[in-house]
Chains A and B, each alone.
Chain A
Amino acid sequence: MSLAQPPGRFRETAQRALADDHVERALDDATARLYGNRLEAWAGLEDAQALRERGREIRVRTVAALDSHLEAFQRALEARGGRVHRCADAAAARAKITEICTAAGAKLVAKSKSMATEEIGLNEALHGAGMEVVETDLGEWILQLSGEHPVHIVAPAIEKTAADVAELFSKLEGREVSTELSELTGVARRRMRKVFETADVGITGANFAVAETGSICLVENEGNARLVTSLPRVHVVLLGMERVVPTLADLSVLLRLLARSATGQKLSSYTTLITGPRRPGEQDGPEELHVIVLDNGRSNLRGTRYEEMLSCIRCGACLNVCPVYRKTGGSAYGPVYSGPMGAVLVPLLVGLEQAPALPHASSLCGACTDACPVKIPLHELLLDLRSDLVEGGIASRGERLGFTLWSYAWSSPLGYRLSTALARLGLPLAALGGPGRVWAKGRAFPRLSRRYRDRR
């Protein structure tokens, strides 16, 4: 799957969402609920700002010495019988996972929610190798059934209402399924149980990897990840290379931040630490545990102004507070990462020229930066990316010329006087073309009377 987002795609997709009242309402309700939950959870903390600062410090320090932490993680995991595979890009990661699944003789693969697997387009690759893949996270499964992509990194099916899901499940079951949540989850549970029992390989992402113990940490509310990681014979983890933390003590800080920021919980219903495959004498767990460490553009950020973006713990708080995401939904940003974190991360992973509209998919209101539990200055990074668009010659020639001419005209009081006198005469003409025409479609121009400096 390509993360690239060609110019024009954002606006086009956003317009479709804006025209859909149903999606608008679903997004509005869901983001407002998550926003409210988060504020409440944070209000219950004694010193929220100090915790955020600790979280930031842990992430920045870890990312700065990523190589040594990854090596420590690998040593610890291998000492407990797990295997680590480093993959430079999506193709390498797909190939490695397909190879592991093929070697395991897999016919059925059970997955729990993982944006990294979306990033590398894993499902398509496994299908191509003749395997059946089933998403076991309820939201992801709903989207798999409807043939859509996740539109939120934490709540993948956030744009769907209970009624939408009931309709989908009714078709699947060939009977009327009501919108009762217990009935909806009942359908999923019955169908999922068989998948857990018969899957040959379980694939998960990883919220964190702990270097000192070689553990993988998974955070979830449905319990599906526990089954995916304990019943199949082989467990494959796709780990974004930046998601390592040095110690269990560090992990505890980040877990407190993650659940509060994502859903407003103190801790998610299930927080699982997996340290190696099943050992002799143990009742359950996989025979093999493989961890794929994925780069796929992440190294581009290291040592740059944008390294802080690697601090992201994928809580989704920036999506839930974003006034733009709230209106566009996730698909406008592309098929995987959305909202402010997506607008920053995607251009950095794939190159600015591949996603030139994303740094501008924001009103720079700064709500994302305020919400980020590890204090990533998201809107500042968007500003810097905009500057890179200009410096790199990716911004359109017309835009660059416009700002340059304007800046020369306004570089002196005389130039300002002359150019604004002209503008006053020409304002009615502005509605005929360019940005003026866009503005005038839906908004009145301000009336320009006498300048304050002239009447004072």
Chain B
Amino acid sequence: MATVQLFATCLGDLAFPDAVADAEALLREAGFEVEFPGAQVCCGQPAFNAGHRAAARRVGRTFARAFSRTAPVVMPSGSCTAMVAHRLPELLGVEPWEVYELSAFLAAAGFEPRRLNEGRTVAYHDSCHMLRDLRISDEPRRLLEVSGATIAPLPRQDLCCGFGGTFSVRQPELSLAMADDKLAGAAGAEALVTADPGCITHLRGRSERTGGPRVVHLATVLARGLG
């Protein structure tokens, strides 16, 4: 049986442990042996995107120490995947890892999720890193459809949800206005599904305050439906 290494990501580990558990369950369902390197911490992205490269390097080294290059690394986060795939090797001066965003990995492995979402209409939000850095947009939608869900297209799917790391607190008014647009676009759906813990923290946090739609991680919807 092929082995994969699971990176929970810091946000996943701390704030969305259920979604990480769902990601692990999906990987096992798809027939993979899942290793969880205990020394993992964070990829350093929060500091890197804010311009603090020395800090990013310091934190990013924990990733380099925790993960081997003998098995693919899978993570339930588009932005962390982009960071590890496209930034970290150069930042640390190390060899690249074989890294995959969860839905792209599952789709490439030919995984077919169970039909837990029959009759459900959900909206899918592309995280910017997944859409434009990793060019992953069909795979999560296909998996959702195979799980039985109907996807209600969001208006202007290309638009960012307004999280943007430190942007969310440097420009809070703008960040919230962008979230409100995104949430309003998903108002007709049972849930707004996305695959990036950053977007979820922001969109769910906003939605809880405004009474907007449920915001759910893709892994959860595929592993357990909307619960």
Contact = CB atoms under 8 A, between A and B. Distances in A.
Contact of B128 (A361, A365, A416): A365
A411 B62 contact: yes
A412 interface: yes
7 contacts: A324-B174, A360-B167, A363-B175, A412-B41, A439-B172, A443-B209, A446-B201
Given A359-B51, A365-B164, A407-B59, 15 more contacts: A18-B173, A32-B156, A324-B174, A360-B170, A360-B171, A363-B164, A403-B52, A406-B55, A410-B59, A412-B62, A413-B41, A443-B202, A452-B17, A453-B36, A453-B40
Given A363-B160, A443-B202, A390 B173 contact: no
B173 A14 contact: yes
Interface string B2-39: 00000010111111110011001000000000001011
B206 A387 contact: no
A407 to B, nearest CB: 3
Interface size class of chain B, counting residues whose CB lies under 8 Å from the partner chain = 35 or more
Q: From B17, B173, B209, name the one whose CB has the most chain A CB atoms within 10 angstroms.
A: B173
Nearest to A440: B205
A450 interface: yes
B174 A18 contact: yes
Contacts of A406: 46-47, 55, 59
A221 interface: no
A327 interface: yes
Contacts of A357: 170
Interface of A: 10-11, 14-15, 18, 32, 321, 323-324, 326-328, 357, 359-367, 369-370, 383, 385-390, 395, 399-400, 403-404, 406-408, 410-413, 416, 420, 423, 435, 438-439, 441-453, 455-456
Contact of A370 (B14, B56, B132, B170): B132
Contacts of A399: 50
Given A386-B50, A442-B176, A446-B205, A361 B8 contact: no
A390 B8 contact: no
A360 B172 CA distance: 12
B208 interface: yes
B173 A446 contact: no
A441 B175 CA distance: 12
Instruction: Give me the 4 closest cross-chain CB pairs, A-B, nearest first.
Output: A363-B164, A386-B51, A407-B55, A443-B205
Interface of B: 8, 10-17, 20-21, 24, 36, 38-42, 44, 46-56, 58-59, 61-62, 66, 128-129, 132-133, 156, 158-160, 162-179, 201-202, 204-206, 208-209
B174 A328 contact: yes
A230 B155 CA distance: 46
Contacts of A366: 128-129, 132-133
A441 to B, nearest CB: 7
B59 A14 contact: no
Contacts of B21: 452, 455-456
B169 A323 contact: no
A442 B20 contact: no
Contacts of B177: 18, 327
A444 B53 CA distance: 29
Contact of B36 (A365, A447, A450, A456): A456
Contacts of A389: 51
Contacts of A416: 10, 41-42, 62
B19 to A, nearest CB: 9
A14 B53 contact: no
A150 to B, nearest CB: 21
A199 B159 CA distance: 45
B205 A452 contact: no
B74 to A, nearest CB: 14
A453 B8 CA distance: 8
A361 B12 CA distance: 27
A438 B50 CA distance: 17
B174 A14 contact: yes
Q: From A363, A364, A403, A416, name the one whose CB has the most chain B CB atoms within 10 angstroms.
A: A363
A446 to B, nearest CB: 4
Contacts of B44: 407
Contacts of B164: 362-365
B22 to A, nearest CB: 11
Given A411-B62, A453-B13, A367 B158 contact: yes
Nearest to B175: A363
Given A438-B172, A443-B176, A449 B209 contact: no
A407 B16 contact: no
A327 B17 contact: no
Contacts of B169: 435, 438-439
Given A323-B162, A363-B128, A420-B14, A444 B178 contact: no
Contacts of B54: 404, 407
Contacts of B175: 363
Contacts of A386: 49-51
B55 A404 contact: yes
A388 B58 CA distance: 18
A364 B46 CA distance: 12
A395 B52 CA distance: 10
A48 B186 CA distance: 32
A327 B175 CA distance: 10
B208 A390 contact: no
B131 to A, nearest CB: 8
B17 A449 contact: yes
Nearest to A24: B177
Nearest to B205: A443
A323 B52 contact: no
B109 to A, nearest CB: 22
Nearest to A332: B174
A443 to B, nearest CB: 4
Given A11-B171, A395-B51, A452 B12 contact: yes
A413 B67 CA distance: 13
